[in-house]
Amino acid sequence: MVVFTFWDWLWLILYIVVMIFSGVLFYTLGKRSESDFFLAGRGLPWWLPASSVYATHTATDTPVWMSGVIYQHGLTGMWYSFFAAWCAVSAFVSTRIFRRSLAYSQAEWQTLRFSGLGSELLRGWMAGWQVFMNMMILGWVGSAMGKVCHYAFGWEEWIGLVLFSSICAIYVLAAGYWGVVIADFQQGIVVFLGILIVSVWGVYEAGGPAGIVGRLNEMGESWRLNPFHFSGWFTGDFPIAWFITMLFVALLGGVGMGTTIDWYVEAQRIQSAKSVRDASYSIWAGTALVLTRNSLWAACILGFFVLNPGILSKDDYELAWFRVGFENLPPGMVGFFFAAIVAIHLSTVASILNLGALYATRDLYQHYINPQAGERRLMWVARFSTLLVLLGSFLYGSMMKNITDWLMFALWVMAAGVWLPNILQVIWWRFNSWGYLSSWIANLGLSWLVVWILPQAGVLPQLPDYAQFWLLMALGLLIYVPVTFLTRPDDMNHLVRYYVQSRPLGFWGPVRREAERQGLIRAVTEGIEKQTA
Amino acid sequence: MPLFRTNWTAHEADEWTKEDFWACVFSSLSYVFLMVGLALCFLLPWLGILITLIGVVFVWLMYAVIDPKLRKISAEYEVKQKEYLKNLDRVMKWEEQ
């Protein structure tokens, strides 16, 4: 258990007070309008959403998970986090297209991209699912914080789950996305410093680079230094087939929207940027920080490994990075480390709280229940929704031991099955709302079949995850492609309007020709050329 | 003739060109080299520094290729954004679909 000195408590309390104060300071901005509460008025320079991307995707469970994969697999474990590289492509493709659409959320984008009843069904389904998923994700990170606090202070796990999320909710309720993004910027700095200090400290506790490499050589474990230590083409812990699938899924996935669960929170950051250019750089830079942060952790965990080899329990080695900090930092610095952990936690909690409230307020309440709602009413609904998401997270967080497997299933496999449709909706004009809707419904059923039911019945072997991905993709195609062609295309005028505004990539020939026939594309540029002449 | 364009009209910048493709390629490579390089900086320092520097070169290439185009797209789009926002509001209120 960790014992705090006066200076440790001082760091921590000071930090929490500064966080709440700076968030609440933006109350007057946050309450101005729905656009301010959820998008900071669409006026942010690239580095603010970038720091929010970085801070949000550094969650309490992230060092737990990274410690696990690096302790087990050495530097090859870093590739498990490389799915984030979808942003390398998205920054210059789907981010640009989405930013131009001006949709507040991915659910709203469905009604801009598609038309008719199908688009509204998609919007409603996606908004409801996102509210639920954000409660689950918050419960998950809250549960991870509960474990950390239990390890450090011996607290009951529910205290870590409830306490810090509630503190965070103060400034999110007050200032909305303004509070989130300003706090994320500060938290990003504290988090980066905390990760850098602890990780470098951990490396030098283990004897520095030469000490770690020498010890790994003595142990016959030098393979852990090789980021490309494959176990074979199809076999073992790190097959080449998995690596190629990961690169394919990550990089090509950047062409689509929603190909990973992270898209939904990035979408808000994209729209908060002041220009298309700022949106692109915010996504690129935030993810670059995420990946390089993983590099610091990887080096530190290898240092931990040489000092503590042979730990068999996953629960033990997953706390490696936290142990490096708590066991090695001097008094006075431990408080700063815990403040960094709190920063890691609050940045994710704040973003997810506000995102869940966005879907509930704009996509469900405003669009379906009260389209004429004024800004004052929307602010109150936004705050009520924030509270609802918070309370939901406590419920799911308390059940997390029993539902972690289900959550991993929901995040990975259910997203895997709609990976290709999420790309098709961006690049192919003919892929309509019914095709997309059928892909979601089909995947719900197919993923259960492929992952659990058929292997239990002996019809299918238990396949590795990358093989499940390819199988689900193939099976899904057999359903949503016929549905697409058997149903009518979306309304052409609707598609033309979308095309002219967003200028998507891919197979949009008929829509483009219609836009040119209507004189819309030339008319826009001619008008601008006259204005700028 | 330069390998990549740096002067764009608004109409040209709206089209998808090889600059977009190469920006994605350089961007992806920069992520790989930066992630691997920085980890190795703390384990095999000389190798790590070299790989990280290659990553930085890819970052610079990505920026040089795409930034002129992004600036033009942004400038052109912002002129129309107010009108698009009014349309979005009409869709929200079911006044338009």
Cβ <8 Å between A295 and B38: yes
Q: What pLDDT shows up at residue A533?
A: 41
Map residue A232 onto helix, strand or coil. Answer: strand
* Residue A169 near residue A17, CB atoms below 8 Å: no
The reply to whether B43 touches chain A by the CB within 8 Å rule is yes
Q: Locate B52 and state its tokens.
A: 């990280």
Q: Does B82 touch chain A (CB under 8 A)?
A: no
Cα of B50 to nearest chain A Cα, Å: 15
Residue A464, Cα to own-chain centre: how many angstroms? Answer: 24
Lowest-pLDDT choice from A4-13, A57-66, A105-114: A4-13
Please give, rounded to a whole number of angstroms, the shortest distance from the CA of B43 to a CA of chain A: 4
The reply to whether residue B70 touches residue A277, judged by beta carbons under 8 angstroms, is: yes
The answer to whether the Cβ–Cβ distance between B34 and A302 falls below 8 Å is no
Q: Is A213 close to B76, i.e. CB distance below 8 A? A: no
Asked if A271 and A102 touch (Cβ cutoff 8 Å), the reply is yes
ipTM value: 0.95
Residue B97 pLDDT grade (very low, low, confident, very high; cuts 50, 70, 90): low
Q: Is A200's pLDDT higher than 90?
A: yes
The alpha-carbon gap from A211 to the nearest alpha carbon of chain B, in Å, equals 9
Nearest to B24 among A88, A294, A367 (CB): A88
pLDDT surpassing 50 at residue A531? no
Mean pLDDT of chain B, nearest integer: 92
CA distance A497 to A511: 9
Alpha helices, H only, A206-275: 208-219, 240-253, 263-272
Give bridge partners of residue A44 from the DSSP assignment.
A273
Residues B55-69: pLDDT tens digits? 999 999 999 999 999
Q: Report the candidate in A308, A309, A13, A315 with the shortest Cα–Cα distance to residue A144.
A: A315
What distance in Å separates the CA atoms of residue A532 and residue B10, rounded to the nearest whole number?
11
pLDDT of amino acid A315: 83
Q: What are the extents of the domains in chain B? A: 17-92
Which one of B43, B70, B88 has the shortest CB-CB distance to A302? B43
Is the pLDDT score of A429 beyond 70?
yes
Mean of pLDDT over chain A: 90
**B39 lies within 8 A of chain A by CB:** yes
| Contacts for A25-30: CB closer than 8 Å, 24+ residues apart | A25/A175, A25/A182, A26/A174, A26/A175, A26/A178, A26/A179, A26/A182, A27/A174, A27/A175, A27/A179, A29/A175, A29/A178, A30/A174, A30/A175, A30/A176, A30/A177, A30/A178, A30/A179
Query: Which token pair is A225?
Result: 């230094």
Residue B50, chain A, CB below 8 Å: the answer is: no
Q: Do B28 and A89 touch (CB under 8 A)?
A: yes
Q: Is the pLDDT of residue A524 over 50?
A: no
Q: A208 in the Ramachandran plot: left (φ > 0), alpha (ψ -120 to 50) or beta?
A: left
Task: Say how many CB pairs under 8 Å bridge A and B.
Answer: 136
pLDDT in tens, A392-424: 999 988 886 655 566 666 666 667 779 999 999
Predicted confidence at residue A22, as pLDDT, reads: 77
φ/ψ bin of B16: left (φ > 0), alpha (ψ from -120 to 50), beta (otherwise) = beta
* Interchain contact, B27 vs A96, CB within 8 Å: no
The pLDDT value recorded for residue B25 is 97
pLDDT tens per residue, range A344-373 = 889 999 999 999 999 999 999 999 999 999
Is A530's Cβ below 8 Å from some Cβ in B? no
Amino acid at position A28, single letter: T
What pLDDT score does A14 carry? Answer: 86
Q: How far is A372 from chain B (nearest CA, A)?
A: 6
Percentage of residues in chain A with pLDDT exceeding 70? Answer: 95
What residues have CB less than 8 Å from B83, skipping those under 6 apart?
Answer: none
| pTM summary value | 0.91
Nearest CA in chain A to B63: A281
Domains of chain A: 48-398 (1.20.1730.10)
What pLDDT is attached to residue A277?
Answer: 97
Helical segments of A359-453, H only: 375-398, 400-417, 419-427, 433-448
The model's confidence at residue B96, banded by pLDDT at 50, 70 and 90, is low
DSSP secondary structure string for all residues of A65-88: HHHHHHHHHGGGGGGGGGGGGHHH
Res A525: pLDDT: 47
In this predicted structure, the answer to whether residue A301 has a pLDDT above a threshold of 60 is yes
Q: Nearest CA of chain B to the CA of A47: how many Å?
A: 15
For residue A407, the model assigns a pLDDT of 61
